[in-house]
Structures are given as structure tokens and as C-alpha cells.
Structure 1
Amino acid sequence: MPFVTFTVRRGLSTADKSLLSEAMLEAQMAAGFHRDDLFHRFLEVDEGDLRVDSRFPDYTTDRTDRFMVVEVIISKGRPTEIAATIAEEAVRLFGERLHLAPQDVLFIFQEVEPSLPRFPAESTSRKVIADA
């Protein structure tokens, strides 16, 4: 279950958020995740709250004010290829649909233990059934 946070500068339209989310979901599906596995949030920050070097690490073109950070939390132990597929496919789709340049997207992947509870209501209902 990927959990995705898009950190963007304030003012991104609802339509663009929808396009980003749909493209990200398609990238997740390309990596083997289910279409219903949709957990995306958008954090909007002011201009001065997202500071980045314009060309690190050796880009030949400056980043723009459309730069965003895409944090993806996935279960620990998944093959590295899953993260690579998500990132590559998302950047391709972001470019096609929103005309975002690759240097305007920074991916951060974090892993969590798959055994940690994620849906307490589901755990509670299983316990109730087991106790019955």
C-alpha cells in the first residue's frame, strides 16, 4: 500500500492535483499495485517554504517554480525495481499530462514494516470476528 505525499507550492489547481494523482496511480499500477490502492495527499507550501538548488545534481536546465517533492511510503522488503518503476513511469506521465520536466520532480521513497497495523478498523473487525 503506497502512501504518497505531494509537496507543492501553493496555488496548484484542483485539476492539476487530479492529473497528478491519476498519473501517480497509473505508475503505481505499472509497479504491480491495485487500482483501488489510492492514498494520496497534497501539502501546499508557500514560496519560501520549499527551497531547492536550481540544478543539483548536475542538471543542465534550472528547476522551475513547479518543482515538487513526491514522498512514497511502501512496505519494507519490496524489490528496488518497484520504486524505480513508480518513479520512471510517474515522471513520464507527469511530463505528458502536465508538461513537468524531470528536474522538477524529486522522489523520496521510505519503507515501513509491513507488519505494523495500518487500518485499525479492519484489525478491530477481525478481532471481533475471531472472538465471536
Structure 2
Amino acid sequence: MPLITLTVRRPKTAQFKSDVLDCVHEALKHVGVPATDKFHRVLELDADDFRFDPTYPDAQRERSDDFVLIEVLWSVGRSVTVKKQMVGFLMTQLAAKGFDPEDVMVVFKETQWENWSFAGGRFIHT
């Protein structure tokens, strides 16, 4: 179960946020995440509260105010190959919607399966 956190600078339109989240979800489905496994949140912060370097470490052009930080929290076990497939698909989808891939950072965080209680306090993976 991936938990997606999208962090952006304020203001962003509902369409901007929806387009990014839809692309992320399509990329997750592309690597085998079920379509119904959808848990997304958006943090929209003022510039003072969301600071980033314009080029670190290898951006080919300066990041703009449309910079998007995408955090993917999911269970351990996915290979680097799967992560690269997911990110490659995501960048293609975002570029097709007019987003600059140089304005997108993806960070994967992994946790053990036993750390998820999806509902009712049940641990279905223990």
C-alpha cells in the first residue's frame, strides 16, 4: 500500500494537484499496485515553508515554483528496477501533461509489512 505525499509551493490549482496525483497513481499501477490502493495527500506550503535548491545535485535547468516533491511510502521488497520503471513511466506521464520533469523529485521510503494497519486496528500482514 503506497502512501503518496505531494509537497508543492502555494498556490497550486486543484487541476495541477489532481494531474500530478493521477500521474503518480498511473505509474504505481504500471508497476503492479492495485487500482483501488489509492491513498494520496497534498501539502501545499508557502515559499518560506518549502525551500529547495534550484539545481542540486544534477538538475539540467533551475527548478521553478512548480517544483513537486513526491514521497512514496511503501512496503519493502521492490527492486531498483521496479522503482526505475515507476519513475520513468511517471516522468513520461507528467511530460505528456505539460510538466517539466526537471521540476519533479521522487523519494521512496520503505517500511516493513507489519507496520501497516489499514482499518479497524487489524494487521493483515502479520
Provide TM-score, normalisation by structure 2.
0.89
> Where does the alignment leave 5 or more consecutive residues of structure 2 unmatched?
none
Q: 1:85-100, aligned counterparts within 5 Å?
A: 85-97=85-97, 99-100=98-99
Determine the structure 2 residue equivalent to 1:12.
12
Give the Cα–Cα distance (whole angstroms) in 2 for the partners of residues 101 and 62 of structure 1. 11
Instruction: List 4+ stretches of structure 1 deviating above 3 A.
Output: none
Determine the structure 1 residue equivalent to 2:25.
25
Residues 1:84 and 2:93 are matched in the alignment: no
Determine the structure 2 residue equivalent to 1:130.
none
| Contact 2:60–2:102, Cα closer than 8 Å, also in 1 | no
Give the Cα–Cα distance (whole angstroms) in 2 for the partners of residues 113 and 45 of structure 1. 30
Structural RMSD (CA): 1.8
Structure 2 residue matching 1:123: 3-state secondary structure: coil
Q: 1:14-53, aligned counterparts within 5 Å?
A: 14-53=14-53
Give the Cα–Cα distance (whole angstroms) in 1 for the partners of residues 82 and 22 of structure 2. 18
Give the Cα–Cα distance (whole angstroms) in 2 for the partners of residues 108 and 83 of structure 1. 10
Give the C-alpha shift of residue 3 in structure 1.
Answer: 0.7
- Number of residue pairs matched? 124
Give the Cα–Cα distance (whole angstroms) in 1 for the partners of residues 35 and 60 of structure 2. 36
Instruction: From the CA coordinates, give the structure whose radius of gyration is larger.
Output: 1
Determine the structure 2 residue equivalent to 1:119.
118
Give the Cα–Cα distance (whole angstroms) in 2 for the partners of residues 65 and 110 of structure 1. 24
> Where does the alignment leave 5 or more consecutive residues of structure 1 unmatched?
127-132
Structure 2 residue matching 1:108: 3-state secondary structure: strand
Deviations 1:3-53 (A, max 9, x none): 100000111111222211211111001111111111110001101222222
| Contact 2:2–2:39, Cα closer than 8 Å, also in 1 | yes
